[in-house]
Structure 1
Amino acid sequence: MDTVDTLEPTCRIAYLPILDVARGVAAGYQAVVQSDAGMLERADRSPEAKAEVTAAAARTALEAFATLPPNTFISIPTPFPVLADPRVREVLTRHGSLAGIILDIVEFSAAQLDTAAGALAAYRDAGALLAVGGQEAAQPELTSIVRLKPAVVRLGRAWVRGVDRSEAKRSAIEVTGRLASQLDAWILAEGVSTSAELRALAGLDVPLAQGSFIGEPQQFWPDIELKARTALPACTMPTDGVLRELLQRAYTATNLEAARSVLPETTGFDVLVVLDDHSRPVALLEQDVVGEWVTSPVLAVNIDTPVADAVERAMARPRDVRFTPLACTDHAGRFLGVLRIERLMSHLTTATAAG
């Protein structure tokens, strides 16, 4: 199916590739609305026009979702003022599961957060993730990051331009990366235009990147440019293979509410992982010290993640979930088992003592 569809006579969608910096492959695609200046101007002036364009863009992107390459996501630009608009909600709700969909929130307004809270909760319940960031020359607002708790934090072109030559910019990206880690979010660097910028971002462990050097918006799902793949180190994510030794099996379910209904009658296990239709972990339930089952957000780590990096990500979480088991996944994001923080810490202690 052609992934460019007509929204209005002068409005079309193309797809911009997003690079998985660690693996050198496409992690996903950003839907880009291509329109004449008149339509964009009307959308900027009129909330009605903005809602119509957003709903049409979302409809087109969701229709193309079925053709999305395996193990990738699609990011849909969604202005915050129209998040709760009935036209936008109807399009997203009709799609059913929003797993694999990232709603890229632009024009965030803390003052409007209460009016959009219900829509945000519904989208998240359906499996959607959120992305947020500043405009091209602006840094992401701390308020938007903390209150929206996005899965992706976007850094605009102003952050990336000349990052290979600017110690200040590298330090700023590191600080933002630590904040994102505390929320279990990923950094997406936008506007990468040179090999030096991409290598600098790889050295900072920025996980996602996009820009003209990586690939331009195209009609079909575009590949990552060869020049971008060859600019990266042979492997930017060193592995030690330890997680395979520390992995533990866990009970799984495919429906959170159904699992909750039988949990009071179960004995013999204290962790249950809820999986989506693609066997990817979406929630984790753990039995607390008084026997109550508590739902926690999933922190998923790839099977080839170094054990020290897995522990660092776990310790960056909020205190109340810091010692919740991690969900370990394969390269397609499928669940393999759980990793208990106690076992990870014990391994690190033993390895340090032996060294």
Structure 2
Amino acid sequence: MQPITAATASTAAPARCGGCRDGTLLPFDFTMAFQPIVDVAAERIWGYEALVRSLAGEGAAFVLDQVQPPHVYGFDQACRIKAVELASALFPPDPDVKLSINFMPNAVYEPNACIRATLTAAKRVGFDPGRLMFEFTEDERMRDISHLRAIIAAYQAQGFTTAVDDFGAGYAGLGLLTELRPDVLKIDMKLVRGIDRSPTKRAIVRSIVGLAAELGITPLAEGIETAEELAAIRALGITLCQGYLLGHPKLAFATA
């Protein structure tokens, strides 16, 4: 399969993308680890983020290093399917608990076509697709904002939650929010780490929280490791939190 870029996405026929059907064409296997996202005000699990891992437990970088250009589309599809299947087996069917899945915008050539395999998997295992949250990272590989806007609009129209991951550490920054309106803004751990000791970080995060409130976006702080960081985050009005203090990622077995 030749890679389909954002520029050619609108003219590509869904039936031609054989690699998007499932993960059987991948030359390696993988599994997921699940890390809780906690609503600290309500004292409950708000969701779980699915994080790709090798079968031996190596981190995402180890797995991603094996993803060659011909595998990008199949890998993105396989990650979604694997996350839904494993989450369905591991967690009780709570309609109030989200499953957050990272996606690669450049691997989605047509949003409504590329989500079909995920919805089929969800139906097969009895997973409510309304619980899905899709998050993307604002990094240097995100070139086509109009394509990403179309993905977010399509996902929100289908009832999915959308999120920007690592906000404040990437390349688009505030300019990204002039083009997009995600549901959740995940504040990067570099801004969270040591925030209790840094007036500068608190000022920056306070501004992000205010901006999110103006735009109707929910802020989420990731990378919280100490009680002091959590207290500082809560004092800034953030209630959705993620990090080792609240729960480490737990490895799941791969499905057959």
- TM-score category by the smaller chain? 0.7 to 0.9
**Structure 1 SS opposite 2:46:** strand
Letter in 2 for 1:152: V
Of stretches 101-110 and 141-150 in structure 1, the one that deviates more from structure 2 is 101-110
- 1:50 paired residue number: 72
From 95, 110, 116, the counterpart of 1:90: 116
Gaps of 5+ in 2: 1-22
1:274-306 per-residue CA deviation (whole Å, 9 max, x = no partner) reads: xxxxxxxxxxxxxxxxxxxxxxxxxxxxxxxxx
Distance (Å, rounded) in 2 between the aligned partners of 1:199 and 1:135: 20
Q: 1:159 offset after TM fit, Å?
A: 0.4
Superposed, 1:95-106 pairs within 5 Å as 95=122, 98-106=129-137
Q: Which letter does structure 1 place at the counterpart of 2:137?
A: V
**Alignment-mate amino acid for residue 128 of structure 1:** F
Deviation at 1:175, TM superposition (A): 0.6
Query: What are the residue-to-residue correspondences of 1:11-160 with 2, within 5 Å?
Result: 11-35=30-54, 39-43=63-67, 46-66=68-88, 67-70=91-94, 71-84=96-109, 88-94=114-120, 95=122, 98-107=129-138, 111-134=143-166, 137-138=169-170, 141-160=173-192
Shift in CA distance, 84/183, structure 1 to aligned 2, threshold 3 Å: farther
Give the deviation of 1:116 after TM superposition.
4.1
The 3-state SS of whatever aligns with 1:173 is: helix
Which has the higher relative contact order, 1 or 2, with Cα contacts under 8 A spaced 6 or more apart? 2
* Counterpart residue type for residue 192 of structure 1: I
Displacement of 1:84 after TM fit?
Answer: 2.9
Instruction: Tell me how far apart the structure 2 counterparts of residues 153 and 69 of structure 1 sit (CA, whole Å).
Output: 25
Percent same amino acid among aligned pairs?
Answer: 27
Structure 1 residues without counterparts, runs of 5 or longer:
1-5, 221-355
Report deviation, 1:184.
1.4
1:81-132 CA deviation, whole Å, 9 max, x = no partner?
Answer: 1133688433235347731211011255664122344443332221111100
TM (normalized to structure 1)? 0.53
Distance 1:197 1:116 in 2: 32
Q: 1 or 2, which has the higher strand percentage?
A: 1
Moved over 6 A (4+): none
Contact 1:188 1:209 in 2 (8 A): yes
CA RMSD, 1 decimal = 2.8
Q: Which residue of 2 aligns with 1:172?
A: 204
**Aligned residues of 1:51 and 1:88 also touching (Cα < 8 A):** no
**Is the contact made by 2:32 and 2:52 (CA closer than 8 Å) also made in structure 1?**
yes
TM-fit CA distance, 1:49: 2.2
Partner amino acid, structure 2, of 1:194: T
1:188 matched residue in structure 2: 220
In 2, Cα distance between equivalents of 1:188 and 1:47:
32
Cα shift at 1:187: 1.1
Deviation (angstroms), 1:51? 2.2
Aligned AA (1:63): E
Give the secondary-structure state (helix, strand or coil) at the position aligned to 1:134: strand
- CA 1:40–1:182 in structure 2 vs 1: closer, same or farther (change >3 Å)? same
2: CA distance, partners of 1:130 / 1:52: 21
Q: How does 1:266-281 map to 2 (within 5 A)?
A: none
CA distance in 1, matches of 2:216, 2:87: 25
| TM-score of the superposed pair, with normalisation by structure 2 | 0.72
Distance in 2 between residues matched to 1:137 and 1:174, nearest whole Å: 16
